């Protein structure tokens, strides 16, 4: 299914595209109901990514020019002055199976061969395959926490280290980490939530026209996949070019000091632990400005993405009636427009009071005559 034909779910699509513009954002966590297009969007994203120049027959997708993206073998050959053979390869999209073990993910070292032949016989894992690409973990909330932590450590550091019996192998593992799951099946620990750059909540489309459009497109795609993809190619190519221009423009995007101060003030107001939220918000706002063809980040840019950056980093309060994203937007409004925030807070209090009175009146009307109404002053 072409990415441009996914209807609705604008926040999810924007979060994915901004990670393509700047992979340093730190990936996306997509949580939502079944059948809301999470997996379809991630898999179709790979079709927008450019072909990579890689060292031919290299298991790590090593870059022929960038030493930081080379495996140990390619790096040794480059330092020895060898001309590395270059090949074109699609940007990898690697899906992590639920039952994957640590060895399958990180790779293993053949100890017997290492002792007998004196060489590091390394069997690359999934982290080697997804270097310079995307690692997609469906049902991330059902994975063992240790496995998720291991993957996120590699994503943050950009390298994977495998150590067995005193033998160590290090290889590059720079990838965009995307996780998805159904919140009704379990939540991630706060420490792991904080490691994802952006977080998005997706829901079943309520708009009937959007639902019909999506259903018809899906049926057409199933009837003639090649023809449907060919008809969408012009839009797909336009989006590829837009992403390429945004990546080129990103280093020149300016963020005014006042905007940075407002971001940190909002993080402080929300009591966000650490400064990862501040950094991600700055990077995401810059990526948005680049994606939309502007040279400078505005407060409006930040207001559009700050909920994605901070909503999952807030401390959970089971008695809180509003979700993290709404709380972040209220805090941002309080930082940038205090008067409007006060008015909105007052309206919210009045609405809650009216709702409470309505519930009490309904309960009183349903109460049978002669029944106990509670202690005085407790009603």
Mean pLDDT of 317-343: 72
| 8 Å CB contact between 277 and 310 | yes
CA dist., res. 22 & res. 352, Å (int)? 41
Q: Report CA torsion sign: 315, 321, 326, 327.
A: negative
pLDDT band for position 287 (cuts 50, 70, 90): very high
Better pLDDT: 339 or 79: 79
Is a pLDDT exceeding 80 seen at residue 235? Answer: yes
For the annotated catalytic residues, the residue numbers are 276
Highest mean pLDDT among 78-87, 108-117, 253-262: 253-262
Q: pLDDT: is 284 or 156 the higher one? A: 284
pLDDT of residue 285: 92
Mean pLDDT of the chain: 81
Q: What is the pLDDT of residue 283?
A: 92
Q: What is the mean pLDDT of residues 260-270?
A: 89
Q: What is the DSSP track for 13-77?
A: HHHHHHHHH-GGG--EEEEE-TTSSHHHHHHHHGGGSPPEEEETT-TT---SS-GGG--HHHHHH
**Number of helical H runs and strand E runs in the chain:** 15, 11
- Give the tens place of pLDDT for each residue, 79-106: 888 888 888 888 888 888 877 788 888 8
pLDDT per residue over 173-197, tens digit each?
888 888 888 887 777 777 777 778 8
309/374: higher pLDDT? 309
d(CA 3, CA 10): 12
Percent with pLDDT over 90 in the chain: 8
* Residue partners of 133: CB distance under 8 A and separation at least 6: 46, 49, 52, 61, 91, 92, 93, 94, 175, 176
Q: Return the number of other C-beta atoms located less than 10 Å from residue 223's C-beta.
A: 9
Cβ neighbour number for residue 321 with a 10 Å cutoff: 8
Average pLDDT over residues 224-235: 85
Contact at 8 Å (CB) between 293 and 245?
A: yes
Give the rounded percent of residues in the chain with a pLDDT score beyond 70. 86
Say whether pLDDT at 286 is over 90: yes
What pLDDT score does 257 carry? 92
More confidently predicted of 176 and 122: 176
Check pLDDT > 70 for residue 217: yes
pLDDT confidence of residue 193 = 79
Q: What are phi and psi of 31, to 5 degrees?
A: -120, 135
The answer to whether 150 touches 166, Cβ cutoff 8 Å, is: no
What is the arithmetic mean of pLDDT over 241-249? 90
Residue 38 and residue 137: Cα distance in Å, rounded? 11
* End-to-end Cα separation, the chain, in angstroms: 57
Q: Return the beta strands (E) in the chain as ranges.
A: 28-32, 52-55, 86-89, 93-95, 107-109, 122-124, 133-137, 159-164, 167-172, 175-181, 198-202
């Amino acid at each position: 299914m072409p990415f441009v034909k996914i209807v609705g779910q604008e926040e999810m699509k924007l979060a994915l595209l901004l990670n393509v513009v700047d992979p340093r954002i730190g990936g996306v966590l997509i949580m939502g109901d079944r059948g809301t297009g999470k997996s379809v969007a991630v898999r179709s994203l790979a079709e927008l990514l450019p072909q990579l120049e890689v060292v031919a027959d290299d298991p790590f997708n090593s870059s022929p020019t960038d030493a930081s993206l080379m495996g140990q073998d390619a790096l040794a050959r480059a330092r020895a002055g060898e001309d590395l053979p270059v090949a074109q390869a699609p940007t990898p999209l690697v899906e992590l199976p639920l039952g994957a073990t640590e060895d399958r993910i990180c790779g293993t070292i053949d100890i017997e061969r290492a002792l007998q032949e004196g060489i590091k016989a390394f069997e690359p894992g999934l982290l080697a395959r997804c270097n310079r690409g995307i690692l997609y973990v469906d049902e991330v909330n059902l994975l063992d926490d240790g496995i998720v932590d291991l993957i996120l450590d590699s994503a943050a550091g950009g390298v994977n280290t495998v150590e067995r019996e005193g033998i160590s192998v290090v290889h590059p593992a720079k990838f965009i980490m995307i996780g998805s799951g159904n919140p009704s099946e379990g939540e991630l620990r706060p420490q792991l939530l904080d490691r994802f750059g952006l977080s998005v909540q997706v829901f079943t489309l309520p708009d009937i026209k959007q639902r019909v459009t999506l259903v018809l497109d899906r049926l057409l795609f199933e009837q003639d996949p090649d023809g449907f993809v060919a008809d969408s190619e012009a839009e797909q190519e336009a989006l590829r070019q837009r992403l390429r221009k945004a990546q080129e423009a990103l280093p020149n995007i300016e963020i005014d000091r006042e905007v940075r101060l407002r971001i940190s003030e909002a993080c402080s107001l929300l009591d966000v632990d650490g400064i990862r939220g501040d950094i991600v918000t700055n990077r995401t706002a810059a990526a948005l400005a680049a994606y939309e063809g502007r040279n400078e980040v505005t407060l409006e840019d930040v207001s559009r993405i700050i909920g994605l950056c901070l909503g999952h980093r807030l401390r959970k309060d089971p008695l809180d009636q509003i979700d993290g994203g709404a709380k972040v937007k209220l805090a941002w409004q309080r930082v940038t427009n205090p008067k409007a925030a006060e008015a909105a807070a007052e309206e919210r209090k009045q609405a809650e009071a009216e709702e409470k009175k309505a519930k009490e009146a309904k309960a009183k009307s349903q109460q049978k005559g002669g029944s106990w109404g509670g202690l005085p002053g407790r009603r």
